[in-house]
Structure 1
Amino acid sequence: MVKQFTKAIIIATLCNCLCLLAIAQSSWKMQPSPLQTRWAKNVTPSATLQEYPRPQMIRSNWENLNGIWNYTITEKDAPIPTTFNDQILVPFPLESALSGVKKPLLPSQRLWYKRTIKKPEIKNNEKVLLHFGAVDWEAIVYINGQKIGDHTGGYFNFSFDITSALKNGDNELIVGVYDPSDEGPNPHGKQVLKPANILYTASSGIWQTVWMETVPAIHIASLKMTPAPDHGYLSLQVNVPGDAANYTVQAIAQNNGATIGNTSGKANASLQVPVPDPHLWSPNDPFLYDLTVKLLYKNKVIDTVRSYFGMRKIEIKKDEKGQDRIFLNNKYTYNLGVLDQGFWPDGLYTAPTDEALKFDVLAIKSMGFNTVRKHVKVEPARWYYHCDKEGILVWQDMVTCANETATARKNFEKENIENVTQLYNYPSIICWVLFNEGWARYDQQRLTEAMKKMDPSRIVDGHTGENYDRGSPNNPLDKWISSDMTDIHDYPGPGIPPALPGKARVLGEWGGVQVKTPQHQWNDADGWGYISIPAAAFTEKYSFLNKHLKILEEEGLSGSIYTEPFDVETEENGLISYDREIIKIPVGKLRQIHGTLVPPTSDVAANFTVRDIDTTNPDNKYAALLDQYRNGKKDQIFLRDLAQMALRVNDKTNAARIAEDYISQLHQPLTANQWSFINKFTNSSKDKGFSLIQQGRDEMNRVLGNRKADVKLMTIVYQEIIEPHVKSPDANPDWNSMEEKSNQYGPAGEEIFLRAKTIHLLNKQDWNSFASTADRYVDKFAANISAQELNNYAWSVFENLSDATHLSNALAWSKLCIQQGDEPSFIDTYANVLYKSGNKADAITYEEKALKLAPDNEKKTYQDTLEKMRKGEKTWK
């Protein structure tokens, strides 16, 4: 009876668990997404990214915590909430469709997660570690109401010892997350709250696997492995926290189960694991050794981890012609690569499955590339594992500094160290990339040299795309100072940077050719590329560009990074569509084209399943489809496609008519794609879309970003009400009548009126009227005016007016400019307005600062102004 009763309890408990699981599963569903990958259908709450998350340090005693969590959103400074009424699928970002939520986290908010965890069975003073793969950006962790710890850095793993906070049975785990995305001092890559060209949807909160692990009280915390193939050993450091003085470690290297080398020594010491006659790792032969590391106390093994390593060497050397080249394992190896951004239409920063993550690596290699530049993102450990396993060279970007503030720079340098430390052991990574196109660049020499000191085993690209950095010094040697490469970007290109002693020449970005994939676009109304060509012409164009690339390689180019392997949101530069379904050049042809630079290093992967793009011109069917429309076909998808087709064939009259029919069928709430279409086809106040934009102005601004609704409304108001009356600088329009008509269109009408009047009076040189109007404009709409424009207004007042009120206003405008950064021209304006206002001492202080920051070729102008100020002379005409 006892056994039967126990069995009954077990069955009942199991049924209850299954019921609870069913409830959890039924409450979650993937949110609508413009595109979906084939792997999304395999995502379920009970099986979400279940693979072991740390392939280079494996233990068997672990528990995956991915799945359904409860969540809520509060104001940023609110206390821990008491109610969590909604559910989210971890580890998909809040903004993603796969999270089941798909909403943005604002900088004024905090995201809270909650779930129950059970205390594992522990013995002999074992510890329970709680691991987070990555949480963007600031995380605070609580167990049973007790704060366990916090972490900042949206791309890096972190762990807490939660043993003392756990009680038997159920325990409450709460994680609070603050993520200002692109509006804070946090490195955030290309994530923004309001997506636009080259910038994409933000990924907030938990976005990599969460898991628990039971370990001995004294245990192996991390490994540091540096291959030394020329010397026949692996340099190894086994990091053991706590009092490890009486602990030793043993490391055993194996090849297919056979031991080829072992060593032992003290914990935290530098060891050498013999690797005789090493089998070298390369894209052609991505051979990996197995490594077992044991921690011993008085010769008794207390902890064991399994790992792997690859033996390879990377350096810059001269080839037989005296050209500085990239050498892998003492052999010149051209780095034929792609710019991989790591975004997914359904998971954003998080791949739907590990199979999907691996697909991207296999796809790139199947197309004939041997290199990936991982662009301003750090991937989960398993992505690098797949690169190691499959054989792809990786150039790893640092995640860009957020801005030029001291806090942002502090965060940037902290996270650079975490980046190098976390990714140090992966043999696939051969290059660290510090700055991209001058984005928030500073102290380039110091930081490049610091990175080389952190990791002498790899090459460092200190500044990729310096030619896009308008603030670069004039001396070309300074543009890549201390870097191992000279590196330019060229769209579409290709191009080649200058040859400098000891530096390999690489093309850090090129290509960017847009080829549209109908029915596989994130937003068919907003897709873009650096240049655009039809599908039928792409193979020939791409082949031509690569023939040019081959010529540059023969001239000394050592590597090139094509933009890009996959479309990303509206950026349609990919060789494959964003949903990974359509390839724009047949894979066999791609491999043939690339083979002139790098012979393919593997066969096409068995699971590389994509369809060739349809190269027939869909617009050839326009006449027949237009007849169907005239005969009454009016379904939404048909109308949307036909309107855009009409525009492509320059039938503007029918394009407008068809678009009106489509828009008339739309109802709130509207999707991002629908708003984009309305924005594209609304060109007058009489269009149906105009009233929708007026009514949904705030929503359209939020969904499309960049004040798209305001810009559209202002453009139409200007064209219809203002422009006819201000075509000549000498015009004297009836401003009162114009203002009355403009203001009936709300804030957008008022803004464009004040802007137009300000600029007209400026051009007319009616200085008093200009200054008064500009003051109204800035007072009301300063947040929408660029710093450069504000600076121009302030300078115009400074040069042409002496009235104290106008100068005071100009000083306020100028102060707004200098608050946005240390731009010497803005500081110079501020100094001059101060000086003319009678504040000589402060003016001199600010002009000295402007002089210090000014480029060499502009310093004389600032010096002359400073001397005039010191002498009490006029600095204005």
Structure 2
Amino acid sequence: MKNLNNIAIVFFIFFSISITAQKTEYANLLQNIDARQKTSLNGKWDIIVDPLENGFYNHRLQEYDKGYFKNAKMQSPSDLIEYNFDTSLQLNVPGDWNTQMDKLYYYEGTLWYKKDFNYTPTSNQESFLYFEAVNYEAIVYLNGEKIGKHIGGYTPFQFNVTDKLVEGNNFVVVKVDNKRKKENVPTVNQDWWNYGGITRSVHLISVPKKHISDYSIKFEKGKYNTIKGWVAVANSADGETVNIQIPELKESAKATVTEGKASFSIKAKPKLWSPELPKLYEVIIETSTDKVVDQIGFRTITTDGSKILINGEETFLKGISIHEEAAFKTGRIVSAEECKVLLNWAKELGCNFLRLAHYPHSEAMVKEAEKMGFLIWSEIPVYWTIQFENEDTYANAENQLTEMISRDKNRASVVLWSMANETPESKPRLSFIGSLAKKARQLDDTRLITAALDTQGKGDDGNLIEDPLGEVVDVIGINNYCGWYYGDVNSCSSIKWASAYNKPMIMSEIGGGALYGLHGDKNERWTEEYQDELFKSNIEMMKNIDFMVGLSPWILMDFRSSRRPLRRIQDDFNRKGLISEQGMKKKAFFTLQEYYHDMDEK
């Protein structure tokens, strides 16, 4: 361990040498799609299940130029066409296929989606086909022509289809493949359900040919009286003007476009966004051809030794971890209403902080959380043991990081970008995650960098945080399952903690499983009493960690996981939730709620 500490600084210097070259630009994504003119492509899509990928390869396993993406129709009775979307099964988009169709419950492979839609062209407009997320690999075809590919199951992507649309009827076909692969991010081993499909909404977005494509608006780093930002204008000429207005503050600025981007600075003293007062301001961005309106909050997050400061005030993060899984019906969340169910439970619990695990959650989740005053930890699925020495794996991770930050950079609620979860210590891992942290800081130098480290039972009577990744991050996350994966449930309260780093620490995971309604002795696993006793013991442990600035126990609600087959207890669910998938609160919910309530009383 000490040897790894000694090499930490050296490897940090050489991160960019051992990993694919860094890029500094954001992802090519329209910012704030809710403010755009968009046509929903949600609803029923025709689907074909294709486990052998016959619609993609011919019998020589070569990419087939007459595949299912052609959406071919019989022209005469003698034609041989062995598929037909128009008579096929259908699934709802957005949605996962696993919970919509019983025979697809465990399915991992290829499934084809097809949607017909009408289009009326408008002069001086550009059109984008925008996918909020598809899990995992998507190849997109429009009117029988391949228009692009995307890898990664939880971040948005888009294609400019202006020149590929036709007046009247059009059709889009998407080949979706959710097969797990060792080189993917996440890799083959994960403790959540591998939901396949077009899991978030699809839109056809129309914008003026000369349009506002992206923007960043926030406090200048280290200042409370200067709002600074930039606006990217596609297809613009140097010298054109961008107007930025914040009507409630009676402040505005004019900026001049240079090489497609206009930078600005506004002197102002807005009310600060905080969990207690999640104040958002209407911000209007306007050019001669386009106008976008957003709701933006202004706040700062910094550290002071082992403290976290929100708007300069020491803040304790009373949190909970959440998976993007819907209550009651289970399956992937598909609406803002389903997001609100989980968020309201977190508010009832007494939280001001959410760890959105283990991947970027939907834009709806982030925006609804922001309105309700939650601080957010957002992360990419660099999870457990991925291929840290594989350059393509790194490129995939960096792209997911870039798309996450690109989408949510204007959300005041997001305060922590997380690079990884429970990764084993090694030189390649240190290099890999260090490069991601460097990239994140290039894209956004106003938020803090974190990662969840794994410290299961490092000492007989205490835990020392000395993972060399502690040098890289601003805030150390610790996953520690005393009483569940190691140690006796009653031993946790006596564990002492120390850290090699003068940095804030968040206890990013503690917990244990319980089946709602199963009762027994407090030493009997899977009972609510056992889980409750585990929480009580861990809470006593955490009260004595003076450098701990928050916690996000695992987890708000039970969620599906194919790692959890124990019948009559787990039944394909991770049972560490404080609430069952049917919305029933377990005893430990009220224990954590009381702990947070007591903090408020002090």
For this structure pair, what is the TM-score category when the shorter chain's length is used for normalisation?
A: 0.7 to 0.9
Cα 1:275/1:517, change in 2 over 3 Å: farther
**What does residue range 646-665 of structure 1 map to in structure 2 within 5 Å?**
none
How many angstroms apart in 2 are the aligned matches of 1:183 and 1:313? 39
Identical aligned residues as a percent? 21
Q: CA offset at residue 478 of structure 1?
A: 2.0
2:387 to 393, 403, 407: 403
RMSD (CA atoms)? 3.2
Task: Determine if contact 1:437/1:467 at 8 Å carries over to the other structure.
Answer: no
Which amino acid in the other structure matches residue 113 of structure 1?
Answer: Y
* CA shift digits 1:208-231 (9 cap, x unpaired): 100112211111112222324734
Equivalent residue of 1:384, what SS? helix
**Displacement of 1:585:** 3.6
Match of 1:571 among 567, 574, 577: 574
CA shift for structure 1 position 132: 0.7
Aligned residues: 509
Over 3 Å counting, the alpha-carbon distance change for 1:129 and 1:496 in structure 2 is farther
> In the alignment, which residue of structure 2 is the partner of 1:72?
48
Residue of structure 2 aligned with 1:332, choices 289, 314, 320: 314
Q: Which residue of 2 aligns with 1:753?
A: none
| Paired residues of 2:454 and 2:478 also in contact (CA < 8 A) | yes
Counterpart of 2:140? 141
Partner of 2:96: 93
Q: Distance in 1 between matches of 2:496 and 2:142?
A: 55
Q: 1:359 is matched with which residue?
A: 341
Shift in Å at residue 62 of structure 1? 1.7
- Aligned equivalents of 2:443 and 2:497: distance in 1? 27
State the partner residue of 2:597. Answer: 595
CA-CA distance at 1:63 after TM superposition: 1.2
1:464·1:487 contact (CA, 8 Å) conserved in 2? yes
Question: 1:485 corresponds to which residue?
Answer: 475
Structure-2 separation of matches of 1:154 and 1:390? 26
The letter for the 1-side match of 2:243 is: Q
Task: Please point out which of 235, 241, 258 is paired with 1:242.
Answer: 235
- Show the 5 A alignment for 1:858-877: none
* Distance (Å, rounded) in 1 between the aligned partners of 2:236 and 2:261: 14
Aligned partner of 1:452 in structure 2 is: 441
Of the three residues 388, 391, 410, the one matched with 1:425 is 410
The secondary structure found in structure 2 opposite 1:186 is coil
Which of 341, 345, 350 is 2:332 aligned to?
Answer: 350
Deviates more, 1:219-228 or 1:338-347: 338-347
Q: In the alignment, residue 564 of structure 1 is paired with which amino acid?
A: I
CA distance in 1, matches of 2:30, 2:349: 28
What letter matches 1:377 in structure 2?
Answer: Y
Cα distance in structure 2, aligned partners of 1:559 and 1:496: 17
- Specify whether residues 132 and 469 from structure 1 end up closer, same or farther in structure 2 by C-alpha distance, changes over 3 A only: farther
Counterparts of residues 222-371 of structure 1 (less than 5 Å): 222-228=214-220, 230-254=223-247, 258-267=248-257, 268-269=260-261, 271-272=263-264, 274=266, 276-296=268-288, 302-318=289-305, 324-344=306-326, 350-371=332-353
User: Which residue of structure 2 lines up, in the alignment, with residue 560 of structure 1?
Assistant: 551
CA distance 1:274–1:112, change in 2 (3 Å): same
* 8 A contact 1:93–1:347 mirrored in 2: no
Contact 2:514 2:530 in 1 (8 A): no
8 Å contact kept, 1:250–1:293: yes
Q: Tell me, yes or no, if structure 1 residue 175 matches structure 2 residue 174.
A: yes
* 1:185 CA drift (Å): 2.3
Larger CA deviation: 164-173 vs 241-250: 241-250
Conserved? CA contact 1:154–1:188, under 8 Å: no
Measure the CA separation in 2 of the matches of 1:168 and 1:446. Answer: 46
Of 458, 464, 486, 2:453 maps to 464
Q: Which structure shows the higher helix fraction?
A: 1
Q: Is the 8 A contact 1:437 1:464 kept in 2?
A: yes
**Against the structure 1 CA distance between its residues 152 and 346, is the aligned structure 2 distance closer, same or farther, given a 3 Å change threshold?**
farther
SS of residue paired to 1:114:
strand
The change in CA–CA distance for 1:104 and 1:538 in structure 2 (over 3 A counts) is closer
Looking at structure 2, the residues matched to 273 and 156 of structure 1 have their Cα atoms a distance apart, in angstroms, of 30
- Deviation of the 1:279 alpha carbon: 0.6
Residue in 1 aligned with 2:24?
none
Report the 3-state secondary structure (helix = DSSP H, G, I; strand = E; otherwise coil) of the residue aligned with 2:544.
helix
Which of 385-394 and 149-158 deviates more? 149-158
Distance 1:530 1:541 in 2: 9
Aligned to 2:370, the other structure's residue is in SS state helix
CA distance in structure 2 between the aligned counterparts of 1:176 and 1:165, rounded to whole angstroms: 18
Name the counterpart of 1:111.
111
Unmatched 5+ residue regions in structure 1? 1-52, 193-197, 297-301, 319-323, 601-877
SS in 1 for 2:420: strand
Kept in 1, the 8 Å contact 2:554–2:576? The answer is yes
Contact 2:430-2:468 at 8 Å conserved across structures: no
**Cα distance, 1:586 vs structure 2:** 8.8
Distance 1:101 1:130, change over 3 A: farther
More deviation in 558-567 or 540-549? 540-549
1:72-120 deviation line (CA, Å, top 9, x unaligned):
13333434224221111111112223x68744443xx432111111013
Query: Given the superposition, is the C-alpha separation of residues 501 and 188 from structure 1 closer, same or farther in structure 2, using an over 3 Å criterion?
Result: closer
Contact 1:432 1:460 in 2 (8 A): yes
Alignment partner of 1:220: what SS?
strand
Instruction: Deviation per CA, 1:783-817: give whole Å up to 9, x if none.
Output: xxxxxxxxxxxxxxxxxxxxxxxxxxxxxxxxxxx
* Aligned mates of 2:523, 2:158 — CA distance in 1: 42
Match for 1:365: what amino acid?
A: K
Q: Give 1:544 deviation, angstroms.
A: 5.0
Report Cα offsets for 1:393-450 as digits up to 9, x if no partner.
1111221164343332231222222222222221111111212221583414343333
Show the counterpart of 1:416.
401
1:219 paired residue number? 211
8 Å Cα contact 2:325/2:331 also seen in 1:
yes
Mapped partners of 1:530, 1:344: distance in 2:
31
Q: How does 1:753-764 map to 2 (within 5 A)?
A: none
* Alignment of structure 1 residues 799-810 onto 2, 5 Å: none
Q: Matched residue of 1:597: which SS?
A: helix
Equivalent residue runs for 1:717-756 within 5 Å: none
Whole-angstrom distance in 2 between the partners of 1:540 and 1:178 = 43
**Inter-partner Cα distance in structure 2 for 1:359 and 1:410:** 35
- Deviation per CA, 1:330-374: give whole Å up to 9, x if none: 011011211212223677662153211112112112211111111
Q: Does 1:188 align with 2:186?
A: yes
Report if aligned partners of 2:523, 2:530 keep a CA contact under 8 Å in 1.
no
Q: Scaled by the length of structure 2, what TM-score is found?
A: 0.77
Closer, same or farther: CA 459–70 of 1 in aligned 2, 3 Å: same
Shift of 1:283: 0.9
Q: 8 Å contact 1:575–1:584 — kept in the other structure?
A: yes
Aligned-partner Cα distance in 2 for 1:354–1:277: 31
The 1:64/1:199 distance shift into structure 2, 3 A limit, reads same
Tell me which residue corresponds to 1:441: 429
Displacement, 1:290? Answer: 1.1
Give the direction of change, closer, same or farther, for the CA distance of 1:548–1:110 in structure 2 (3 Å limit).
Answer: closer
More strand per residue: 1 or 2? 2
Question: Which residue of structure 2 aligns with residue 637 of structure 1?
Answer: none
* Separation in structure 1 between the aligned mates of residue 451 and residue 577 of structure 2, nearest angstrom: 26
TM-score after normalising by structure 1: 0.54
In 2, Cα distance between the equivalents of 1:55 and 1:344? Answer: 26
For 1:346 and 1:122, the matched residues in 2 are separated by: 43
SS in 2 for 1:129: strand
CA distance in 2, matches of 1:475, 1:386: 34
Q: 1:348 to 1:497 in 2, by over 3 A?
A: farther
Distance 1:122 1:365, change over 3 A: same
User: Unpaired segments of 5 or more residues in structure 2?
Assistant: 1-28, 58-63, 73-83, 483-491, 561-572
Closer/same/farther in 2, CA of residues 270 and 332 from structure 1, 3 Å limit = farther
